[in-house]
Amino acid sequence: MLKLSKLATAVALVVAGSAAGAGEVEVLHWWTSGGEAKSVGELKSIMQGKGHTWKDFAVAGGGGDNAMTVLKSRVVAGNPPAAAQIKGPAIQEWASEGVLADLTPVATTEKWDSLLPGVVANVMKYKGKYVAAPVNVHRVNWMWANAAVLKKAGVASAPKTWDEFFAAADKVKKAGLIAVAHGGQNWQDFTTFESVVLGVGGAKFYNDALVKLDQKALTSATMTKALETFRKVKAYTDPAAPGRDWNLATAMVIQEKAAFQFMGDWAKGEFTAAGKVPGKDYICAAAPGTANAYTFNIDSFAMFRLKDANAQKAQGDLAAAIMGTQFQEIFNLNKGSIPVRLNMDMAKFDDCAKLSAKDFVGTAKSGGLVPSIAHQMAVNPAAQGAIQDAVSQFWNDDKVSVADGVKSIAKAAATK
């Protein structure tokens, strides 16, 4: 999602895999700001070092909407790039059009099925065949906390349940500080909402309600309790929250103005940039009730069908490099995410990343690993957008009753 900054580095390494049969790899991305552009340059030089040619297809616009518009026109014209940043169910939508390349030969050689959790591998496949390569894993269900603020408020440790959280939030409020730093934008509301649903209902309920969009789960007493909890969280945000960018909310925690923030691990980059140390200056913990679960957000490259044999070879090398240990380590150290490849050596990563990797492996085995609906990993774009709007309407308007909120979200989930 946000900050694909050093992905260029990743792709650079991707290029590293290329050898004989030099070809051109045109990659669509939206890394156009300073640091991101620099990473693309590094990627290009690595590409050239392997004999392949890296052709930059950068389209400005942080969220990628502009890039997707350009991509559609290129594909319709019969001139697709070799690879493009595409994620979640959108991968299957592209694959259903018959325009994506089959990466199964590369995946088989590189043993992707044994290197990826099944739930992640399935996102990269269409009808059993790999059509995309995953770059990283962001954990979404994080709670970030300022250690000094908690100490000042008399909170001994990061709360593990919602009851403990509200007790801690009351202490923070009493100490004259903001309990929850929040940016009132619809995707941020949705990010908090999914962690609340996961914490209140558990992974199976989350999967039923927000992945399978089961109406029985969506209209259940558990969903009612989740919305009650969600509304209570809002009571601990400050009046200036509406419209605030997520990084400014993170800054409130860093600057000891607020105690907690619910945000994916891209927030860690802000703490790192401010010279803060995990475990000392700030705490990274799973959102209340979600220690045994993990909502994932994965950046990935879908590969398009190409006619030129050398271009196909370069494309395959790119896919192999993306999943290679060198790329996975360098890219994720830069981005704040963790390698998507299981059982990677995490020696160079910080404590938050090590906890994330441990929980990623553990939840992959236990069934607690679930896709983030707020970050386009779980359901089709139409349903995702409709549910997000319903969630934000409930969050922003206290006159909407919990019962009506439940009905509105359930109705939105039926959007095709």
DSSP symbols for 22-67:
--EEEEEE---SHHHHHHHHHHHHHHHHTT-EEEEEE---TTSHHH
pLDDT category of residue 135 using cuts at 50, 70 and 90: confident
The total number of structural domains that make up the chain: 2
Task: Determine the pLDDT at residue 14.
Answer: 43
Instruction: State whether 280 and 176 are in the same domain.
Output: yes
Instruction: State whether 240 and 211 are in the same domain.
Output: yes
Task: Determine the pLDDT at residue 391.
Answer: 98
Reply yes or no on whether the pLDDT at 114 is more than 60.
yes
Tokens read off for 195: 């962690």
pLDDT category of residue 144 using cuts at 50, 70 and 90: very high
In this prediction, residues 296-314 reach a mean pLDDT of: 93
Instruction: State whether 103 and 63 are in the same domain.
Output: yes
Cα-Cα end-to-end distance for the chain: 23
- 113 in a structural domain: yes
What are 35-44's pLDDT values in tens digits? 456 556 666 6
Coil/strand/helix, residue 285: strand
Instruction: State whether 134 and 146 are in the same domain.
Output: no
Instruction: State whether 302 and 283 are in the same domain.
Output: no
- 328 in a structural domain: yes
Task: Determine the pLDDT at residue 41.
Answer: 64
- 229 in a structural domain: yes
pLDDT category of residue 59 using cuts at 50, 70 and 90: confident
Reply yes or no on whether the pLDDT at 17 is more than 70.
no
DSSP state of 371: E
Instruction: State whether 242 and 389 are in the same domain.
Output: yes
Task: Determine the pLDDT at residue 97.
Answer: 96
Reply yes or no on whether the pLDDT at 105 is more than 60.
yes
Tokens read off for 69: 């518009």
Reply yes or no on whether the pLDDT at 320 is more than 60.
yes
CB contact at 8 A, 386 and 410: no
Q: Give the helix ranges, DSSP H, for 244-380.
A: 246-254, 268-273, 309-322, 325-335, 351-366
Coil/strand/helix, residue 13: helix
Stretch among 224-233, 286-295, 311-320 having the lowest mean pLDDT: 311-320
Residue 167 phi/psi, 5-degree rounding, is: -65, -40
pLDDT category of residue 352 using cuts at 50, 70 and 90: very high
- 362 in a structural domain: no
The domain in which residue 32 lies consists of 7-138+297-352
Angle at 84 between CA 246 and CA 303, to 5 degrees: 140
pLDDT category of residue 33 using cuts at 50, 70 and 90: low
Reply yes or no on whether the pLDDT at 19 is more than 80.
no
397 CB-near residues (< 8 Å, 6+ apart): none
pLDDT category of residue 31 using cuts at 50, 70 and 90: low
Domain boundary among 308, 323, 352: 352
pLDDT category of residue 13 using cuts at 50, 70 and 90: very low
- 224 in a structural domain: yes
In this prediction, residues 248-256 reach a mean pLDDT of: 97
Closest CA to 107 of 318, 399, 270, 249: 318
What's the mean pLDDT when you consider all of the chain?
Answer: 90
Task: Determine the pLDDT at residue 7.
Answer: 42
What's the CATH code of the domain at 237? Answer: 3.40.190.10
- Measured in residues, the chain has a length of 416
In this prediction, residues 38-57 reach a mean pLDDT of: 73
CB contact at 8 A, 136 and 331: yes
- 312 in a structural domain: yes
Residues 93, 96: Cα–Cα separation, whole Å: 5
- 200 in a structural domain: yes
Instruction: State whether 130 and 178 are in the same domain.
Output: no
- 82 in a structural domain: yes
Instruction: State whether 232 and 291 are in the same domain.
Output: yes
Instruction: State whether 151 and 259 are in the same domain.
Output: yes
Instruction: State whether 288 and 217 are in the same domain.
Output: yes
Checking phi first, is residue 295 left (phi over 0); if not, alpha (psi -120 to 50) or beta?
A: beta
Coil/strand/helix, residue 6: coil
Residue 50 phi/psi, 5-degree rounding, is: -95, 0
Instruction: State whether 157 and 289 are in the same domain.
Output: yes
In this prediction, residues 360-367 reach a mean pLDDT of: 96
Reply yes or no on whether the pLDDT at 4 is more than 60.
no
Instruction: State whether 276 and 147 are in the same domain.
Output: yes
Strands annotated E in 348-408:
369-371
Query: Cβ of 148: how many Cβ atoms within 10 Å?
Result: 13
Q: What is the pTM of this model?
A: 0.89
